[in-house]
Amino acid sequence: MSERIGLEASHAAAEAVKMADVDVIAAYPITPQTHIPERLAEMVADGELNAAYVPVESEHSAMSTCVGAAAVGARTFTATAGPGLEYMHNVLYIASAMRLPVVMTVANRALSAPLSIWGDHSDAMSVRDTGWIQVFCQNSQEAFDMTLWAFRVGEDPGVLLPVMVHFDGFHLTHVTEPVILPGQEEVDKFLPKFRYPFALDPDKPMTLGAFAPPDIYSEAKVAQEVAIRKSKAVVIQGFREFGEIFGRYYYPVEPYKTEGAKTLLLTMGSFSETAKTVIDTKKDRGESVGLINLRLWRPFPFEELRQAVKGAETLIIFDRCISFGGPGGPVSSEIRSALYGEKEGPEVLSFIGGLGGRDMSAKDFEYVIDRGCEIAQKGSAELFETVGIRGEVTGIRG
Amino acid sequence: MTQKRLRTGIDFTWRDMEVGNVITEAGNAALRETGDWRTQRPIVDKEKCNKCGLCWLYCPDAAIRPLEDGYYEPDLFYCKGCSICAKVCPKEAINMIEEEEK
The amino acid present at B86, given as its one-letter code, is A
pTM over 0.90: yes
B1 confidence band (pLDDT: 50, 70, 90): very low
Based on the domain organization, do A260 and A230 belong to the same domain?
no
**Residue A119 domain-assigned?**
yes
Residues A7 and A35 occupy one common structural domain: yes
- CATH of residue A317's domain is 3.40.50.920
Residue B100: the pLDDT is 87
Our CA-based measurement puts residue B9 at a distance from the nearest CA of chain A, in whole angstroms, of 5
Q: How far is A66 from chain B (nearest CA, A)?
A: 15
Closest-CA distance, A227 to chain B, in angstroms, reads: 9
Q: Residue B37 and residue A122: Cα distance in Å, rounded?
A: 43
- Chain A: which residues have CB within 8 Å of chain B? 97-100, 160, 197-198, 205-210, 212-213, 215-216, 218-220, 222-223, 226-227
> B87: Cβ–Cβ under 8 A, 6 or more apart, which residues?
none
Note whether A224 and A355 are same-domain residues: no
pLDDT for A23: 98
Give me chain B's average pLDDT, please.
88
Q: Pick the closest to residue B14 from A230, A93, A227, A221 (CA basis).
A: A221
How do the residues of chain B divide into helix, strand and coil, expressed in percent and rounded to 5?
25, 20, 55
Number of Cβ pairs closer than 8 Å across A and B?
A: 53
How far apart, in Å, do the first and last CA atoms of chain A sit?
57
Which domain does A153 fall in, by range? Answer: 3-246
Distance CA A137, CA A272 (A): 9
Q: Which of A198, A205, A216 sits opposite B8 (nearest CB)?
A: A216
DSSP lists the bridge partners of residue B41 as B97
* Residue type at A394 in one-letter notation: T
* Residue A384 one-letter amino acid: F
The domain B8-98 is classified under which CATH number: 3.30.70.20, 3.40.50.300, 3.90.1150.10, 2.60.15.10? 3.30.70.20
pLDDT at B96 over 90: yes
Collapsing DSSP states into helix, strand and coil, what is residue A311? coil
Same domain, A196 and A67: yes
Residues A145, A226: one domain?
yes
Domain CATH number, residue A132: 3.40.50.970
pLDDT of amino acid A364: 98
Residue B30 has what pLDDT?
83
**Structure confidence at residue B4 as a pLDDT band (50, 70, 90):** very low
| Residue B3 predicted with pLDDT over 50 | no
Same domain, A267 and A195: no
Residues A155 and A236 in one domain: yes
Please indicate, yes or no, if residue A204 is contained in any of the structural domains: yes
What is the structure's pLDDT at A41? 98
Q: Would you state the pLDDT for residue A213?
A: 84
Residue A392 belongs to a domain: no
| pLDDT classification of B27: cutoffs 50, 70, 90 | confident
* Together in a domain, A148 and A25: yes
Q: Kindly state whether residue A395 falls inside one of the protein's structural domains.
A: no
pLDDT at B33: 85
Run of H or E residues at A153: helix A140-154
Q: Identify whether residues A242 and A283 lie together within a single domain.
A: no
Closest-CA distance, A327 to chain B, in angstroms, reads: 33
- ipTM (interface pTM): 0.84
Q: Are strands A314-319 and A3-8 parallel, antiparallel or unpaired?
A: unpaired
Residues in B whose CB is inside 8 Å of some CB of A read 8-9, 12-24, 26
Look at residue A292 and tell me if it is in a domain. Answer: yes
Does the pLDDT value for residue B29 go beyond 70?
Answer: yes
A220 and B21 within 8 Å at the Cβ level: the answer is yes
Per-residue pLDDT of chain A (398 residues; tens, 9 = 90+): 799 999 999 999 999 999 999 999 999 999 999 999 999 999 999 999 999 999 999 999 999 999 999 999 999 999 999 999 999 999 999 999 999 999 999 999 999 999 999 999 999 999 999 999 999 999 999 999 999 999 999 999 999 999 999 999 999 999 999 999 999 999 999 999 999 999 999 998 889 999 888 888 999 999 999 999 999 999 999 999 999 999 999 999 999 999 999 999 999 999 999 999 999 999 999 999 999 999 999 999 999 999 999 999 999 999 999 999 998 899 999 999 999 999 899 999 999 999 999 999 999 999 999 999 999 999 998 999 999 999 988 878 76
Q: Are residues A320 and A293 in the same domain?
A: yes
CB nearest A212 (choices: B13, B15, B21): B21
**Residue in A220, A196, A207 with CA at minimum distance from that of residue B24:** A207
Give me the pLDDT at residue A398, please: 61
The reply to whether A233 and A317 lie within a common domain is no
Q: Count the domains in chain A.
A: 2
Contact A219/B12, CB-based, under 8 Å? yes
- Residue A280 and residue A221 share a domain: no
